[in-house]
Amino acid sequence: GAVVSQHPSWVICKSGTSVKIECRSLDFQATTMFWYRQFPKQSLMLMATSNEGSKATYEQGVEKDKFLINHASLTLSTLTVTSAHPEDSSFYICSAKWGGRLDGQFFGPGTRLTVL
Amino acid sequence: GQSLEQPSEVTAVEGAIVQINCTYQTSGFYGLSWYQQHDGGAPTFLSYNALDGLEETGRFSSFLSRSDSYGYLLLQELQMKDSASYFCAVRGGDDKIIFGKGTRLHILP
């Protein structure tokens, strides 16, 4: 079956630094990937839609200059949290669009970001 | 806009049956999904309803009524490992999945 991986699974960084999170579709090509953020005991909030070879589409209220998304290949999308602050600490989850799934997406295992 | 409503918490006894309801308001609708999420983990897909009716997968069943913008997840023969958060989610015409706020299921022995 289709598998989506994320790297790293967790990361701790200092305030003001940038962190890059990778999302890979391991055995299928994904022209579209999605990035979500989840704060403790809250729901998953869609941040942006990442399209291979074009600019990402951000949801209302998400700062595109702070959360840089690059989808350079059909199997890799990256999310870079720039100048991270403690309020950016969250669980970041990606998903890849796949027509073989009823709900149309396969979710990665998530990346836990802690900003000190 | 889009919104999904589901109870914040539900408590049930091991071995019993529990139903988690979800109502939605969306500008576009392709289907209603249900996901399970244990603490610290990613959401895992449980079921998807695109058409009205009941879908059964083992101990879990999901129902959809498009005319009522309503669905539910039914969990039977509850086990302690079913303690988790359950999210309903709507898939829209742009392939985006919008999640509800989640229902925390507590299971008592």
Tens digits of residue pLDDT in A74-105: 899 999 999 999 999 999 999 998 766 666 78
Which helix (H) or strand (E) element contains residue A2? none
Closest in B40, B97, B100 to A105, CB measured: B97
Beta carbons of B86 and B21 less than 8 angstroms apart: no
- Tell me the residue ranges of DSSP E strands in A1-116: 4-7, 10-13, 19-25, 32-38, 45-51, 57-58, 67-73, 76-81, 90-97, 105-107, 111-115
User: Cα–Cα distance between A9 and A32 in angstroms, integer?
Assistant: 21
Q: Chain A residues contacting B, CB < 8 Å?
A: 32, 34, 42-46, 49, 93, 95, 97, 101-105, 107-110, 112
Segments of chain B with pLDDT less than 50? none
Residue A103 has what pLDDT? 66
Q: Token pair 């083992």 is at which residue?
A: B58
